[in-house]
């Protein structure tokens, strides 16, 4: 699994992954917000539509942004309906365990598949006092198991486990029957997900410990921009191959 926020990235990733997540991380990655709390329903729908246009086979899941489902079950159902109706995606994702079980169950009852999200929950970063790894205390481990059980019982088809001690995430995966998707969790999870910009080396700020960069595109892009600027200033670009002459006979750009 990987995140996707745009049509061209969805086109490139779709043949290779089982699931594309239109994550609320788009608020940080593409819109420059400090946290995912900058995401809105309108933002998620717009990016969900773009990804759906670029996806042919992958399951597309759209994040429900903070403020769109926590207030009440009715709000959660209405927001999920809107996302599905406007994007045509296959499922929605929301954060929370025991505290959001009623919302998950109600959305599932409407025929909308739900992916859960437990462990480190980026939408709760302000309440938690930062991006703190979960599963370090006996009390927190017990709470994580209760959350996993609640999400499964509510009818979620899978659950993301984020920022959780490896042994705990492994235990959670064995404890529940639904697939677990790890991010900063455990190799024992049934699947893995990364933010695509992190994975391809596009992130310009700090890269999380759990990320493996499979490319270094920030360097490639910076180098290309520098060479382009040099050639424009020196009038090396555009050259003969990049302009149209009256005799060329070509009607298409």
CATH number, domain containing residue 112: 3.20.20.60
pLDDT score recorded for residue 250: 65
Closest CA to 26 of 77, 60, 63: 63
In whole angstroms, give the CA distance from residue 105 to residue 175: 20
Q: How many CB atoms lie within 10 A of CB 70?
A: 17
Sheet-wide strand order for 2-3: 2-3, 19-22, 59-63, 91-93, 114-119, 158-162, 180-183, 191-192
Closest CA to 146 of 167, 128, 119: 119
In a domain, 139, yes or no: yes
In a domain, 47, yes or no: yes
User: What is the tally of structural domains in the chain?
Assistant: 1
In a domain, 251, yes or no: no
In a domain, 92, yes or no: yes
In a domain, 225, yes or no: no
**According to DSSP H, which parts of 57-120 are helical?**
73-87, 101-109
Weakly modelled stretches of the chain, pLDDT under 50: none
In a domain, 243, yes or no: no
pLDDT tens-digit series, residues 136-163:
999 999 999 999 999 999 999 999 999 9
Q: Is the peptide bond before 100 cis (omega within 30 degrees of 0)?
A: no
pTM for this entry: 0.95
Range of the domain at 191: 2-199
State residue 38 phi and psi, 5-degree precision. -80, -5
In a domain, 119, yes or no: yes
| Beta bridge mates, 92 | 62, 114
pLDDT tens-digit series, residues 22-35:
999 999 999 999 99
pLDDT score recorded for residue 249: 64
In a domain, 79, yes or no: yes
pLDDT score recorded for residue 245: 86
In whole angstroms, give the CA distance from residue 135 to residue 121: 13
Inter-CA distances, 94 with 80, 162, 190, 231, Å: 10, 13, 19, 48
Of the residues 110, 162, 166, 213, which is catalytic?
A: 162
pLDDT score recorded for residue 252: 73
pLDDT score recorded for residue 205: 85
Active site residue 95: no
pLDDT score recorded for residue 251: 66
Antiparallel, parallel or unpaired: β 114-119 and 91-93 = parallel
pLDDT score recorded for residue 253: 73
């Amino acid at each position: 699994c990987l995140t996707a926020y745009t049509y061209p990235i969805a086109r490139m990733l779709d043949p290779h992954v089982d699931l594309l997540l239109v994550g609320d991380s788009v608020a940080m990655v593409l819109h420059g917000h400090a946290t995912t709390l900058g995401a809105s329903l309108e933002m998620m729908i717009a990016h969900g539509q773009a990804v759906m246009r670029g996806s042919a086979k992958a399951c597309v899941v759209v994040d429900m942004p903070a403020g769109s489902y926590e207030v009440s079950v009715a709000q959660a159902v209405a927001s999920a309906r809107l996302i599905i109706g406007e994007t045509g995606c296959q499922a929605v994702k929301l954060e929370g365990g025991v505290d959001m079980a009623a919302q998950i169950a109600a959305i599932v009852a409407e025929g909308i598949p739900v992916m859960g999200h437990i462990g480190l929950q980026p939408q709760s970063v302000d309440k938690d006092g930062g991006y703190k790894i979960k599963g370090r205390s006996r009390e927190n481990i017990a709470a994580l198991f209760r959350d996993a059980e609640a999400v499964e019982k509510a009818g979620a088809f899978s659950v993301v486990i984020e920022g959780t001690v490896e042994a705990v995430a492994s235990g959670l995966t064995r404890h529940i029957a639904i697939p677990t998707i790890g991010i900063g969790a455990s190799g024992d999870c049934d699947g893995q997900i990364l933010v695509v910009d992190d994975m391809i080396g596009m992130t310009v700020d700090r890269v999380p410990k759990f990320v493996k960069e499979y490319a270094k595109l920030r360097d490639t892009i910076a180098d290309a921009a520098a060479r382009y600027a040099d050639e424009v200033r020196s009038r090396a670009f555009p050259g003969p191959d990049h302009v149209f002459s009256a005799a060329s006979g070509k009607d298409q750009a």
